[in-house]
Copies of this chain bind each other. A is one copy, B any other.
Amino acid sequence: MTVRTLAVVGTGLIGTSVALAARRHRVTVYLFDRDESAVRAAAALGAGRPEPPPRPVDLAVLAVPPSQIAPVLAREQARGLARSYTDVASVKARPEREILATAPDPSSYIGGHPMAGRERSGPLAARAELFQGRPWVLTPTRFTAKPAFDRALDLITLCGGVPRVMRARAHDDAVALISHAPHLLASLMAARLRDGPAPAARLAGQGVRDVTRIARGDSRLWGDIVESNAAAVAAVLTRLQEELAGVLAALYDLAQPDGGPGPETRGKSRHTLVDLLERGIAGVGELPEDRPENSDH
């Protein structure tokens, strides 16, 4: 193992979970956060020491929102916090662009994203097992040097994750589809629940609860995430919006009394709905097995 000392910058859910996993392997961990209480909470959980390291650590994990990665990396490289740097943000392309433009040493950085999370946020929600068996994407740039790559792979091993190497752009397109767009859809549906008739929510069952569950995530963090991946998220939601328009046209046809549109129009509209429902069933089939213990970022 080339990672014996670790710095975690940002002791929220993910940063503290990484620290807890590393501690289990006797790695010495140093904790940082703008929020003093978050550092104290993480340290109290046994995640590491709430103090600066005496000398540069092997690897620093930047567990900050996407928009903060480039500035925090520049700051920490300037003061020599670590030999190598990675991050855990769920957006990779825009931070990478900013880093290549501003970082003192792009060669010691590699982007990372563990595909695990919870709705609950903050150090108290952290769990050492959070990354167990989950994909952990690495996005090396053409400048990334081998030591940074190797130390990031070691970190993933320490956390029990499954490394996947991707281009930043490909990663962002993928998470726009499987995480960011679903989150905004869940929020759109959940927001509607408030303008419903009084008894509606009382009748609600597990279905709508599942559809809207991820909408509980931290609104500031998610605002930063979707903004940082705005183009890819917009592309997914634009295709969805186009299909929604067709579905609405079909529903309005079918809402008319039988004297309304002729049997042919009704038949087409029915087909539109059933075709969507069938492609939906097929789409769910594309997903890997349920892993109830973890939830998507």
Interface residues of A (CB under 8 A from B): 115-117, 134-135, 137, 164, 166, 170, 173-175, 177-179, 181-197, 199-217, 219-220, 222-223, 226-227, 230-231, 233-234, 236-241, 243-245, 247-248, 251-252, 254-255, 269-270, 273-274, 276-284, 286-288, 290-292, 294-297
Q: How far is the CB of A225 from chain B (nearest CB, A)?
A: 10
Mind listing 11 A-B residue pairs with CB under 8 Å? A173-B196, A179-B205, A188-B243, A191-B283, A206-B291, A206-B294, A209-B284, A212-B280, A215-B280, A219-B277, A219-B280
Q: How far is the CB of A176 from chain B (nearest CB, A)?
A: 9
- Number of this chain's copies in the assembly equals 2
Q: A190 contacts which of B137, B214, B281 (Cβ < 8 Å)?
A: B281
In contact, A187 and B277 (Cβ under 8 angstroms): yes
Q: A219 contacts which of B254, B281, B286, B294 (Cβ < 8 Å)?
A: B281
Complex CA distance for A220 and B270, rounded to whole angstroms: 10
Known: A137-B203, A215-B280. 5 other contacts (CB 8 A): A177-B200, A194-B286, A211-B214, A226-B251, A227-B254
- Chain B minimum-CB-distance residue to A251: B234
Q: How far is the CB of A283 from chain B (nearest CB, A)?
A: 3
A contacts with B: majority SS = helix
In contact, A173 and B197 (Cβ under 8 angstroms): yes
In contact, B212 and A277 (Cβ under 8 angstroms): no
Complex CA distance for A234 and B95, rounded to whole angstroms: 40
In contact, B222 and A277 (Cβ under 8 angstroms): yes
Most central of A189, A201, A213 by chain B CB within 10 Å: A189
